[in-house]
Amino acid sequence: MSLLRRRKVSESKTTQVPDPDEKKPETHKPEKQSKWSCVDSCCWFIGCICVVWWLLLFSYNMMPSSFPQYVTEKITGPMPDPPGVKLKKEGLKAKHPVVFVPGIVTGGLELWEGHQCADGLFRKRLWGGTFGEVYKRSYYSYLYIVASAFPGVEPLCWVDHMSLDNETGLDPSGVRVRPVTGLVAADYFAPGYFVWAVLIANLARIGYEEKTMYMAAYDWRLSFQNTEVRDQTLSRIKSNIELMVATNGGNKAVIIPHSMGVLYFLHFMKWVEAPAPMGGGGGPDWCAKHIKAVMNIGGPFLGVPKAVSGLFSAEARDIAVARAIAPGVLDQDLFRIQTLQHIMKMTRTWDSTMSMIPKGGETIWGDLDWSPEEDYVPNKRKQTTNDTEDESSESITKINHYGRMISFGKDVADADSSKIQRIEFRDAVKGNNIANNTCRDVWTEYHDMGISGVKAVTEYKAYTAGDILDLLQYVAPKMMERGSAHFSYGIADNLDDPKYSHYKYWSNPLETKLPNAPDMEIFSMYGIGIPTERAYVYKQVPSAECYIPFQIDTSAHEDNKNRCLKDGVFTVEGDETVPVLSAGFMSAKAWRGKTRFNPSGIKNYIRECDHAPPSNVLLEGRGTQSGAHVDIMGNFALIEDIMRVAAGAKGEELGGDRVYSDIFKWSEKIELPL
């Protein structure tokens, strides 16, 4: 730096040279005119821009910080008090310690040891936070490539470090990426994109601070048991909860898991009471002693269909839409980066994604002809008031076959089950390895399938939730082999079977009992009112050489008010990621009262948040009444619920259930012995 500065000084000295014309402007004038060359005008242009930029920056910085708020209030009227302020006025005070359990993707990861290409990124975030370092890094490496025409030096560095070993599901050798600890782990995902920050800020208003709040950060790429094996994360959570309960006068903890954190905490509750070698050895009443309430936010108890498309073709609706808008961009081989393939390679090494494969099979998610949500009408709640004529013809004739989670071709998705001819794929022989050497660097298992394998998959036509498991088993045997050692997706017939003490069942609510803690309360809080992915229409990609052979068929589209097929995706009520069924079923039915899944009769409450998009995106940001999967963390109603419980309220004092969706009706339809 000092070197650079010195250079600058010398420059300013050299520019002093034309300064003499300050004294005799007349004589030097002709000379000056001739200097106005192309380079000069370039410099002039840059200078102009810089000056304007600085001026703007300056005036921006000079602006009083309350200015945006002032403008907002002028336009939309006074903002409601944030719940923290409101409740503080009511006299609420911090009572129970609070534990946050972040979900997949939102937790930060940082580098502790890496390859050469990651030099200088030590303890910098590879994931979450700002991504700033990563961007900066790849920006320079990009420049570097362009400048020196070295092909492919660094762009894959990041992917390499984020991937896990595909045999063990743990660190690849020479790389250590670890979760960021503390509240900073998941308060913001990217600059300005809050996850937990709003909730934390509001809790702080009624007196919470570091000693009464704990972010149970874990490496969300690992399978749940592996976080304990590698990082002792579960032990750490246990010890921290014990410490917080002890130092806060014996007040039990309130746990707030979000998204996949919900499953992680289910796993934790079983782990902590299990005996020592495999479990935490806390004894059978650990949960009763330490936990007051579990407030699940957007919990994918029974999995999310999104996980299927993610694993199957590395695309979710967002990517599918991008593909529909700009075909070719994603498939292009620009810079020899096969974006989707690399994403797939990376995500397939993450065991945790497999924890979210739909659980409960056809009993829960429906079969070829039936599904619990089949009568769902997308705009129903908004229609009921004015629309009467629409009820007549179409909506009765065509019901959504949500049970067919993957169907090949739109006609298959609509056809009656008797008309679909399915050819068994499970025993089909995979073809020769068609992959040539160019594909070798990308590991997706697809090039082990061969053409006949791909064909066999398409000919089965329609897959239900049960079939999906076999499909993934067939398509990605190695990955599923790794995953099935850690997760299970069935429904238990007999929960007392000793096999269910194995840890792979712990994160599946349909194969475990809740702990024996009758005073504990479970809340299922989730957003509704946003179309959520539920089933997919797929197509086969013709030349499946280096590409993923299947794609969501974005041409499958139906313009019908009562049908929910858009861009090859059937949508249903939910919070954009988790369908209502997955988030609410356990609390609405399976755990309600004393059931075999809930032997001690832990009280369950459903608190839904109806989605209302922010009236003014620019000023309100992501809204205070949002119901979207992550944005819900800024929902005032939800925050208020959490704060009241943290300050000591019980479920009944909040007002019991608050339900807008058809979750109870749909749960009725599911026949599950309780």
Partner 1 sequence: MASILRFRKLCFLEPAKCSSHDEKTKTGENKLYEKTDKIVANNTVPLEQNPKKKKQNRPPKEWRCIDSCCWMIGYLCTTWWLLLFLYHCLPANLPGLQIPEPPGARLRRDGVTALHPVVLVPGIVTGGLELWEGRPCSEGLFRRRLWGGGFAEIFKSSRDHEDNHKKSILLPNEFHNIDGCDYPRTTSSKSSPMCWLEHLSLDNETGLDPPGIRVRAVPGLVAADYFAPGYFVWAILIENLARIGYEGKNMYMAAYDWRLSFQNTEIRDQSLSRLKSKIELMYVTNGYKKVVVVPHSMGVIYFLHFMKWVEAPPPIGGGGGPGWCAKHIKSIMNIGPAFLGVPKAVGNILSAETKDVAFIRAMAPGLLDSEILGLQTLEHVMHVSRTWDSIISLLPKGGESIWGNLDWSPEEDHVCNSSKYHQNLDTKSNQTDGRRDTFQVHEPTKYGRIVSFGKVASELHSSKLTSLGSQKHESLHTATHTVPRAIASCGKPWTEYDEMNRESILQLISEKKAYTGNTLLDLVRSIAPKMMKRAEAHFSHGIADNLDDPKYNHYKYWSNPLETKLPDAPEMEIHCLYGVGIPTERSYVYKLSPPGRCRSIPIQIDSSADGSQTGCLKGGVYFVDGDESVPVLSAGFMCAKGWRGKTRFNPSGISTYVREYKHKSPANLLEGRGLESGAHVDIMGNVALIEDVLRVAAGASGAELGGDTIYSDIMKMSEKINIRL
Q: Name which of residues 220 to 249 contact partner 1 (CB under 8 A).
A: 231-232, 235-236, 239-240, 242-243, 246-247
Site for partner 1 in 326-355 (CB under 8 A): none
Residues 423 and 402: their CA atoms lie apart, in Å, by 21
Whether 342 is catalytic: no
Give the residue, chosen from 16, 386, 388, 397, that forms a contact with partner 1 under the rule CB under 8 A: 16
Closest separation in Å from C-beta 50 to partner 1: 5
Site for partner 1 in 354-393 (CB under 8 A): none
Site for partner 1 in 571-610 (CB under 8 A): none
Site for partner 1 in 160-199 (CB under 8 A): 176, 178-179, 181-184, 187
How does 549-575 read in b/e, with b if 16+ C-beta sit within 10 Å? Answer: bbbbbbebbeeeebbbbbbbbbbbbbb
Closest separation in Å from C-beta 112 to partner 1: 5
Residues 46 and 130: their CA atoms lie apart, in Å, by 29
Residues 625 and 317: their CA atoms lie apart, in Å, by 24
Of 55 and 618, the one with the shorter C-beta distance to partner 1 is 55
Contact 570, 534 (CB under 8 A): yes
672 to each of 182, 510, 587, how far by Cα in Å? 40, 10, 14
Of 62 and 429, the one with the shorter C-beta distance to partner 1 is 62
Give the residue, chosen from 20, 40, 191, 518, that forms a contact with partner 1 under the rule CB under 8 A: 40
Give the residue, chosen from 17, 26, 60, 427, that forms a contact with partner 1 under the rule CB under 8 A: 26
Give the residue, chosen from 20, 48, 398, 555, that forms a contact with partner 1 under the rule CB under 8 A: 48
If one asks whether residue 143 binds partner 1 (CB under 8 A), the answer comes out as yes
Of 235 and 251, the one with the shorter C-beta distance to partner 1 is 235
Please return the burial class of 592, using the count of CB atoms within 10 Å of its CB with bins 0-12, 13-18 and 19+. Answer: buried
If one asks whether residue 283 binds partner 1 (CB under 8 A), the answer comes out as no
If one asks whether residue 7 binds partner 1 (CB under 8 A), the answer comes out as yes
Contact 105, 177 (CB under 8 A): no
Site for partner 1 in 80-119 (CB under 8 A): 112-113, 119
- Which residues sit opposite 177 in a β-bridge? 111
Residue 438 Cα to chain centre, angstroms? 32
Q: Which of 163, 223, 259, 524 is catalytic?
A: 259
Residues 204 and 654: their CA atoms lie apart, in Å, by 21
Whether 600 is catalytic: no
Give the residue, chosen from 11, 387, 391, 545, that forms a contact with partner 1 under the rule CB under 8 A: 11
Residues 560 and 608: their CA atoms lie apart, in Å, by 27
Residue 278 Cα to chain centre, angstroms? 29
If one asks whether residue 68 binds partner 1 (CB under 8 A), the answer comes out as no
Whether 259 is catalytic: yes
If one asks whether residue 67 binds partner 1 (CB under 8 A), the answer comes out as no
Give the residue, chosen from 73, 90, 165, 209, that forms a contact with partner 1 under the rule CB under 8 A: 209
Contact 616, 604 (CB under 8 A): no
Of 222 and 471, the one with the shorter C-beta distance to partner 1 is 222
- Which residues sit opposite 606 in a β-bridge? 524
Contact 591, 598 (CB under 8 A): yes
Q: Which of 309, 313, 629, 641 is catalytic?
A: 629
Closest separation in Å from C-beta 535 to partner 1: 41
Residue numbers annotated as active site = 259, 575, 629
